[in-house]
Every structure is written in C-alpha cells, then in structure tokens.
C-alpha cells in the first residue's frame, strides 16, 4: 500500500493546502540516475509535461506597470491562475525567469543590492508552487533582454556582451549573485532557496550565446558557473539552458539550423556535445524555434529534435528535456499552423520516451492566463492548441505512472 501511495503521489496530494490542485508528485528532490530523471525516495522515473512562463516575477511582485502584456487582474492572481490551469491539466514542471525583465523594476539594483519587493515576489512563486507540488526550473539570466546578461556585464564594469563569458570581474559578480540568490531564506515558508526541493533545476542562462567566441570560452564558463550553483545548491540539478547548436569543430554542422549552407549557428559560441559532457551538467536541454530559424515545415522541427536526441543517447548519455518549443500564430485564431508544429514536437518527444530514450520531459512556450496578451507565442487554455497539450500531457503522465521505481524507498 505504501508503495502504491508513493507511485500515485497520494502522499504529496494529502499535504496539499485546502482545495488547491496538486501534481501528486512525491516529496523530495528531482535527481539523475543514469539517463533518467527521478523523483522521490524510491527513484521513480520522472516523465513529465510542463510549460514556460517568463514574466512571473513582475506579476508576483505587483510591478506598477504591466510587464509587456495586458494584465486585467492583480499580478499575483494571474500567477495563481496560470499555476492552477497547468496543474489541473496534469502539467508538473514550470520553467521561470529568476529575474525581472522590466527596466525600472530590476531584481538586482547594483553589484550587491537588490529590490526586496521582487525578491518577495519570488518567495511567493516558490511558496505557491510548493503548495501545488509543482517543480520549477529557474533561469538565472536571459540573453535577449537588457535585464539579463547585459545587465550582468554592466554591473561587472564591462561593456561587451561577450564579456559575460570572458571577463573575470563579470564572472565573479555573477557567481556572487548566484550565491546570494540561492542562499536566500523564503520569507513566506522559511526554506532556503538552495535547499528547497520545489526547485528542480537551475539554467545557467537562457539561450547563452557568445557570438564569434572560441568554443573554449563557453566551455570554461559552463564549468565555472555550474560549479557555483552546485556549491550553493548541491542537491539541485543544473543545465545550460540554451538552444543546442553544434560548434565549428563538430562533424554535424549540417544538423544546425540555417538554410542554403548558412553556418551562423556554429558561430554562437555553443558546442552542444562538449558543453553537455561537462560532468557538472546534469541533463541536456534544447530549444527549438521554427520561426527564428526559418524552418520550412514541421519536419524540420522534428529533425532538429531527433538529431539532438541521437547525440544525447550515443555520446552524452544524460537525461534530455525539450525545454522550449513554440510557434508564432500570426493572428490565426484557429492555430492550425501552430498546432502542426506542436504536434510534431510532441510526437518526437513521445516516441523517444516510449522507446526508452533519454527524453524525460517537454515544456511548451508559453502559458497565458485568460485576458493576458497580446503575444505571438502565447497559449491560452481556450485555444485549440490546448487539447494537443493535454493529450501529450496524458501520454507523459502515463509513462510516469507505469514506470517502476529504480531503488528502494528510504
């Protein structure tokens, strides 16, 4: 009976607060065993479906102006609604930005100073996720917006985007920031961030790119920053958080995005195989963006995902997560084109997981609450795409439910 309760997650569900929806996941840290992610004391293989939400800290800290989108309700209510929508549908993991995105509402206001309102918002997100049994992948910095990698460069007294990976002062500042954030005690539940099993993993940065840099620059940076996270949160997992491009020395450049022989992806500083072989990196994550990469159809998306799965299975030999996939709607309210790409990504994920491959989970981009928008990539629960997501979630949850624990419970 105890074994069945742990597998079904009823023990965790019994601890749910009030009538809140709950994932039913057992307590404890998500871990790695071989090429699988596991959860719970009995090392239950952790297959899952989840989503991205990138503006939660603004919403949770009640930023005075809406972050990029219309927000008809108070920000915290949108956070709760999105969580509840996801959990009720069976989604178990949410990937979030561990910093604000809105100028004037910075999480980090100086090299060693912080906006406590934003930090309390992060406390709120962690606490509410814990109440629902959600696991979080936190992204430590973003490549694309000013309050991310470029802010870290400025705080470190440097000027070039590439200095994030090469400047000793910038790297030292980033490591101080990591140590500060992961040592924070949640004001709502008393848990230290770096010791909270609600956190599944930390991404070193979202879509880290060091354009024109030698592959050695990012390789060194990955090792250094991963070690910094592990020092502050030894039981949390770490992944890089990027798209997964093969580097210039790879024999697989033809499997990078780029039409007509373009090799732009190989010049972004990434080296998919070698970066992920670093022993500190716990699992492989990739992002796939059909619009940005001028993919010609869903088959191109399938090919990209499957090529990285093959390399992971044959060489890297670690668990694999499809961390981001999305599609611009271009005003198509039927979402027919988006659905074709989502279906392709989900089919590739399901096929690999069912065959015993390294894929353990997928996270679509991204979930909006009712009334939030506009957003070319946003998915609402009223969209036709939602039925594909719930079907895919059912498949991944079925794999989780049928998998046998791989060690004895403590």
Instruction: Please confirm whether the linkage preceding 58 is cis (ω < 30° from 0).
Output: no
Burial 356-379 (b: 16+ CB within 10 A, else e): ebbbbbbbbbbbbbeebeebebbb
324 is catalytic: yes
For 35, the 3-state DSSP assignment is: coil
Q: In 42-162, where does DSSP find H-type helix?
A: 56-60, 75-88, 116-131, 151-155
- Per-residue pLDDT of the chain (410 residues), as tens digits, is 233 333 333 334 334 457 999 999 999 999 999 999 999 999 999 999 999 998 999 999 999 877 777 889 899 999 999 999 999 999 999 999 999 999 999 999 999 999 999 999 999 999 999 999 999 999 999 999 999 999 999 999 999 999 999 999 999 999 999 999 999 999 999 999 999 999 999 999 999 999 999 999 999 999 999 999 999 999 999 999 999 999 999 999 999 998 666 889 999 999 999 999 999 999 999 999 999 999 999 999 999 999 999 999 999 999 999 999 999 998 899 999 999 999 999 999 999 999 999 999 999 999 999 999 878 999 999 999 999 999 999 999 999 999 999 998 66
E strands, 289-354, are 320-325
Q: How far apart are the first and last CA of the chain?
A: 15
Cα distance between residue 18 and residue 176, in whole Å = 38
Alpha carbons 152 and 161: distance in angstroms, whole number: 9
- With the CA atoms of 72, 76, 79 and 80 taken in that order, what torsion angle do they form, in degrees rounded to the nearest 10? -110
Domain ranges of the chain: 48-396
> What pLDDT shows up at residue 69?
79
Residue with tokens 């060091």: 210
Residue 41 makes CB contacts below 8 A (sequence gap 6+) with 6, 26, 28, 409, 410
CB 126 within 8 A of CB 195: no
Q: Which candidate in 55, 58, 128, 207 is catalytic?
A: 207
Taking alpha carbons only, the member of 243, 248, 252, 347 closest to residue 307 is 252
In Å, the largest CA–CA distance within the chain is 60
Q: What is the pLDDT of residue 6?
A: 32
Return the structure tokens found at 186.
Answer: 């949640």
- Of these residues, 128, 323, 324, 350, which one is catalytic? 324
Parallel/antiparallel/unpaired status of strands 93-97 and 36-39: unpaired
Among 125, 211, 127, CA closest to 166: 211
As separate numbers, helices (DSSP H) first and strands (DSSP E) second, the chain gives 13, 11
- Give CA–CA dist 88/109, Å, rounded: 37
Separation of alpha carbons 371 and 339, rounded Å: 21
Classify the C-alpha dihedral 383-325-38-190 as positive or negative. Answer: negative
Instruction: Give the residue among 409, 398, 369, 376 at the shortest CA–CA distance from 53.
Output: 369
- 21-49 burial, b if ≥16 CB within 10 A, otherwise e? bbbbbbebbbbbeebbbbbbbbbbbbbbb
Class of domain 48-396: alpha beta
Instruction: Report the DSSP pairing between strands 320-325 and 359-364.
Output: parallel
C-alpha 4/C-alpha 38 separation (Å) is 16
User: Is 255 a catalytic site residue?
Assistant: no
Strands 199-203 and 237-239: parallel
CA distances from 116 to 67, 113, 176 (A): 18, 9, 17
Q: Which of 202, 246, 160, 209 is nearest to 29 (CA)?
A: 202
Q: Residue 227 has which token pair?
A: 């070690």
């Amino acid at each position: 009976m105890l074994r069945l309760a742990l597998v079904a997650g009823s023990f965790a569900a019994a601890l749910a607060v009030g009538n809140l929806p709950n994932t039913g996941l057992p307590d404890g840290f998500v871990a790695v065993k071989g090429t699988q992610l596991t959860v719970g004391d009995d090392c239950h293989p952790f297959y899952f479906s989840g989503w991205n939400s990138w503006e939660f800290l603004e919403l949770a800290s009640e930023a005075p102006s809406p972050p990029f989108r219309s927000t008809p309700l108070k920000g915290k209510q949108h956070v709760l609604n999105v969580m509840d929508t996801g959990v009720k549908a069976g989604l178990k993991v949410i990937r979030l930005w561990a910093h604000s995105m809105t100028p004037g509402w910075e999480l980090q206001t100086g090299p060693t100073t912080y906006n406590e309102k934003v930090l309390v918002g992060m406390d709120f997100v962690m606490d509410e996720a814990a109440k629902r049994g959600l696991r979080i992948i936190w992204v430590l910095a973003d490549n694309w917006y000013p309050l991310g990698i470029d802010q870290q460069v400025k705080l470190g007294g440097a000027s070039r985007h590439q200095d994030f990976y090469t400047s000793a002062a910038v790297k030292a500042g980033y490591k101080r920031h990591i140590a500060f954030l992961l040592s924070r005690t949640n004001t709502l539940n008393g848990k230290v961030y770096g010791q909270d099993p609600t956190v599944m993993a930390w991404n070193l940065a979202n879509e880290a790119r060091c354009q024109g840099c030698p592959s050695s620059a990012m390789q060194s940076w990955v090792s250094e920053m991963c070690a910094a996270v592990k020092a502050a949160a030894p039981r949390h997992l770490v992944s890089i958080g990027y798209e997964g491009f093969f580097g210039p020395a790879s024999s697989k450049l033809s499997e990078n995005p780029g039409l007509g022989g373009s090799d732009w992806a190989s010049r972004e500083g990434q080296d998919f195989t070698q970066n992920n072989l670093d022993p500190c990196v716990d699992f492989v994550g990739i992002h796939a963006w059909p619009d940005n990469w001028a993919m010609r159809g869903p088959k191109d998306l399938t090919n990209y995902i499957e090529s990285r799965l093959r390399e992971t299975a044959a060489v890297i030999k670690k668990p694999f997560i499809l961390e981001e996939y999305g599609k611009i709607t271009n005003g198509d309210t039927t979402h027919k084109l988006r659905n074709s790409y989502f279906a392709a990504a989900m089919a590739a994920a399901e096929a690999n997981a069912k065959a015993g491959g390294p894929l353990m989970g997928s996270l679509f981009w991204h979930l909006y609450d009712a009334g939030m928008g506009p957003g070319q990539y946003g998915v609402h629960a009223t969209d036709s795409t939602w039925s594909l997501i719930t079907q895919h979630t059912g498949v991944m949850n079925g794999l989780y439910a049928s998998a046998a624990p791989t060690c004895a419970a403590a």
